[in-house]
Amino acid sequence: MIQMTNTLLVMLIMLSSCMGERGKSGETKALDNNRVITGADQIEAYVPYLEGKRVGMVINQTSIIGDKLSVDSLLTLGVDIKTIFGPEHGFRQDASNGAAVGDEIDPKTGIAIVSLYGKNRKPSKAQMDSLDIVIFDVQDVGCRFYTYINTLAEIMETCAAYDKKLLILDRPNPNGFVDGPILDMRFKSGIGKFPIPITHGMTIGEFAHMLNGEGWLTDGVQCDIKVIPVKNYSHDLYYELPVSPSPNLNSQASIILYPSLCLFEGTIISQGRGTYMPFTVLGAPELKGQYEFSFNPVSLPGMSETPLHQDNVCYGVDLRKYDIEALHKSGKVNLQWMIEFYEAFPEKERFFDSSQSKAMGRIEALIGNDVFKKQIMDGVSETEIRESWEPGLSHYKEMRKQYLLYP
């Protein structure tokens, strides 16, 4: 049972009320009626629902109430948390992109942490039998190739299999627009499992409804979900995350540039892995003399142990001061950088060679089709490339409407 005194509940409600939307300077805005309130911060809406239940939590370092990890706050309220399930990068965000993560015991709480990005991608029957309900509270960034939506689907399938309810504490999508080609399912992979565009324009809560509604879970199973919606959020809101969602998205600029720059994982061009400014720079050693800006990728444990062009100076562009608010407002993935770098690269036959990269892989898996590579090589204009995304993109936008929780 939850041993929750009125005093403790009032304290946590006051804490969540004091935490406003992060401003552009990184400071917290003064309390007002328009501030964003995440699902997790609305403890009065779900803590009573957890009374008497054995709880599992799919969480990581982004799972906060106010400025405190949600697991710590909920334990304070007496919530009976039995297991923590950690997605890619681990519970404490200390694993590199794609690195397997093992099970462990959280030294602070003594709770067992089960990795969902190691030998197992789903909880076992024994683990689920010890739970009554699972909470999903992980910050997503709204891209098809960002793996947390895969984890969501796998948890939903597991909850459906063992007749457990999934409570989703929703969070804003910092890239809330819809753009890119729909994934050709011939190129389905770990970085693209569903027929959606590059930026799907949905929060985790909305995406969960889409997974159920479109029958995309394995064998068309249905998961019993309850979503605690974000207050005062809209998809076009420019929202600054208070916590980095993963080791290589360590700045607001990297988060907003990610939908455009991650496509370069399917090329010979470095996106800054192996530096402390990943996904804000582009370059390669072969571009010396064409660009003045340079950077040197090195091995960075916990971020990128074996980055592309390791220990070689790369020449290219610095996008750290790029107008990311304007990019966000445009609602588009930037294709001009891909066009520019292909034109500048001297050995064109090597441009789409991603074999040296230990990160994402082929351009076909990233973009979601086998047309884009040829379009870039043939000098097709951005306008023509975008036209080739239809009518799939428009059909997706229409389908998406029925699952939206926010304007």
Is pLDDT larger for residue 2 or for residue 248? Answer: 248
Check residue 289 and give its pLDDT. Answer: 97
Check residue 96 and give its pLDDT. Answer: 42
Residue 338 in tokens: 């891909």
Q: Other C-beta atoms within 10 Å of 118: how many?
A: 16
| Average of per-residue pLDDT values in the chain | 89
Strands 104-105 and 112-115: antiparallel
Is pLDDT larger for residue 206 or for residue 9? Answer: 206
Which residue blocks in 20-84 are alpha helix, DSSP H? 43-46, 70-76
- Encode pLDDT of 90-146 as tens digits: 565 444 444 445 577 888 888 989 988 767 779 999 999 999 999 999 999 999 999
pTM: 0.90
Choose the weakest-confidence range: 84-88, 143-147, 356-360: 356-360
For 125, phi and psi rounded to 5 degrees?
-60, -40
Choose the weakest-confidence range: 53-57, 343-347, 359-363: 359-363
Check residue 159 and give its pLDDT. Answer: 98
Check residue 16 and give its pLDDT. Answer: 46
Chain center to CA of 330: 20
With pLDDT > 70 as the criterion, what percentage of the chain qualifies? 86
Domains of the chain: 41-228 (3.40.50.12170), 252-370 (no CATH)
Task: Give yes or no for residue 297 having a pLDDT over 70.
Answer: yes
Check residue 195 and give its pLDDT. Answer: 98
How much is the average pLDDT of 182-203? Answer: 97
- Under the banding of pLDDT at 50, 70 and 90, the label for residue 87 is confident
How much is the average pLDDT of 252-257? Answer: 98
Total number of residues shown for the chain:
407
Using DSSP, state whether 126 is helix, strand or coil: helix
Contact 86, 114 (CB under 8 A): yes
- Under the banding of pLDDT at 50, 70 and 90, the label for residue 30 is very low
